[in-house]
A and B are shown apart, each in its own frame.
Chain A
Amino acid sequence: ETGVTQSPTHLIKTRGQQVTLRCSSQSGHNTVSWYQQALGQGPQFIFQYYREEENGRGNFPPRFSGLQFPNYSSELNVNALELDDSALYLCASSLMTGGGYGGELFFGEGSRLTVL
């Protein structure tokens, strides 16, 4: 396994609610990226955290927010849930060095969110 763990694995929410998803990165990794994968689609980049700061963001509204903690674990928060937020949310960790692209991403098994 990759050593990246996510929780919860499955959850059901209703429209307008808020959700927090958690991710523990692989030991030695300092960067966490979050992706959203809708059914039948490839994963879409939400944002990345490096050294506890957002380090790039995809085309997602501000109601998608996140945190990275000193131990490099991370949270993804989604406010005001919409039906289209139903998806598999994937966390990926990697090691970012000073030179740039951080190399292979290792994905967790994901959190499957259903919004009713």
Chain B
Amino acid sequence: RKEVEQDPGPFNVPEGATVAFNCTYSNSASQSFFWYRQDCRKEPKLLMSVYSSGNEDGRFTAQLNRASQYISLLIRDSKLSDSATYLCVVVDRGSTLGRLYFGRGTQLTVWP
């Protein structure tokens, strides 16, 4: 069983749409959670951290449900520039390595 599971999509939405991605993780001891964004043939870049209380950064909202071991990312008012692959990332408790467990990513295409 993989550490982090994501629906690979693809999600194809029009500009202005709201889209949500989900992710589950298998290790209940996981400590830190992130969403990364990866553009085609580029490196992953940190989009936002995910906190237990939920957090928002502009059009992006991240939620964490520890009981269900579930993470979500909501994008409102989608822009063409949001087209990318979104990677769910988990770090285990006690990991002094900063070892990241990545999901396989969810591909988003926003069309005009």
Q: How many A-B residue pairs have CB under 8 A?
A: 62
Q: Does B29 contact A (CB under 8 A)?
A: no
Q: Is the CB of A41 within 8 A of B104?
A: yes
Q: Does A26 contact B (CB under 8 A)?
A: no
Query: Which B residues from 73 to 112 make CB contacts under 8 A with A?
Result: 87, 91, 95-105
Q: Which of B31, B32, B95, B104 contacts A42 (CB 8 A)?
A: B104
Q: Does A105 contact B (CB under 8 A)?
A: yes
Q: List chain B residues, Cβ under 8 A from A94.
A: 98
Q: Does A70 contact B (CB under 8 A)?
A: no
Category for how many chain B residues contact A: 20 to 34
User: Mostly helix, strand, loop or mixed at chain A's interface?
Assistant: loop
Category for how many chain A residues contact B: 20 to 34
Q: Which of A96, A103, A107 contacts B45 (CB 8 A)?
A: A107
Interface residues of A (CB under 8 A from B): 2, 31, 33, 35, 40-45, 48, 55-56, 58, 90, 94, 96, 100-105, 107-110
